[in-house]
Structure 1
Amino acid sequence: MSKSEIEIITPNSYGEIIINSDKSIPTKEKSKILNQISDLLTGKSNKRSFDELISKFVKKSEKLEDRERNPLKLKNVLQKVENQLISEYHKLPLVHLLYDENDLENEILSIKINDIEASIEGDLYFEDNYEFLREKIQIKSYSEDYGKIDLLLDVTPTVEINNKNYIIKTLSKAEQFKSEFQLCYTFLNEAISNRKKILWEFE
């Protein structure tokens, strides 16, 4: 993805946008920024002092004309991302969902084993050893039962858990976020047809 495409698809903070961040940051100042982030996370500093430090190196704007985006350009980049998720699904993370063999509509999020409630975890991308876990489902207990159940199951079309058969469905990232992509396209198509620019921000 090109630099301009990354800029188009990356949402800005609600109410403001960085319009110039090309100024290089000296090593000494980078250290100050890291210290400020640490202080901010531990409650020793506040966001205002952090923003004042950052403002030396980036220029922000709250003007509507700076924050508005071209909906057609954003739609084109989103479609490019979706197409890449589809074409390269074999390289990308997978999501595994568990279903009762008699109910293929409602995903099972937890299960009881020996009267202990355990979570079904089929999206393990953020685990350190994801390459090993890519084709696994984890069943794990938490809270007061933490550690009592911790199972890894191979992903197969059907699996038996606690003497009961279940179905496993596997989704690519494109399939996982299909409805979100469609919501974006509907919104952007409406803006395009009405010749309106849009805001692409998060709170």
Structure 2
Amino acid sequence: MRYRKKKDPKLFSKILVITLMVLLVLGFTVPGFLHGNQDTSQGTYVEPRFCQADANCYLTCDGAPLATLCSQNLCVQNSCEEGTLYPYVAVPTTFTLIVNANSSRVDLPSRMNEQNLFVTFADDTVSLFSTGMVLGQVLEKVNVVWANGCLSFGTVRYCEDESNAIILTVNGEESGEGTYYQPQEGDLITISHQQRVVDLVVREDEPLAQDVMME
């Protein structure tokens, strides 16, 4: 005959007491932990600032104005505590930028917003008052967008197709970096929407059309 072991009531009581103590500890610590995180996040969160030009993004830090870049209609820095990838520098990087579309040169200075501080245009010369900025951000300052195979000037677009291409050359050499190219001091940069150049390759053993006609 098999006998069942009787459950120890003291053991059950101990487990119950330990469980209640754990629940009490969690009840006091978890809410405080959650509220503590919430307060910290509320203290550091800064509302994004919308902008149309760099002048809309000025900050006052330690009593002095701090120039901040406006990119894609958002200020890239919204508080003095935030870092920035595009600090303003007093000595600019200067380079030449030429944009051709519809067989004519685009007048970039006429498209410039005077309230933009980080990129300025004078004839074909561009002055870039920051480090780390790329060609796409420079074009943005004159309302030119190069994306999805098209050069857009507001509502006017020039796109790549079977006959036309958008070619970027840097110092006479064709570049595939596109809008991600980072201009360097003294660069000559040209962006052109132009007809594609098709190389005609003739095999030596194939007669030219003129030779066929003569035969």
Give the TM-score taking structure 2 as reference length: 0.21
Higher helix content, 1 or 2: 1
| Larger strand percent | 2
Q: Normalising by the residue count of structure 1, what TM-score does the alignment of the two structures yield?
A: 0.22
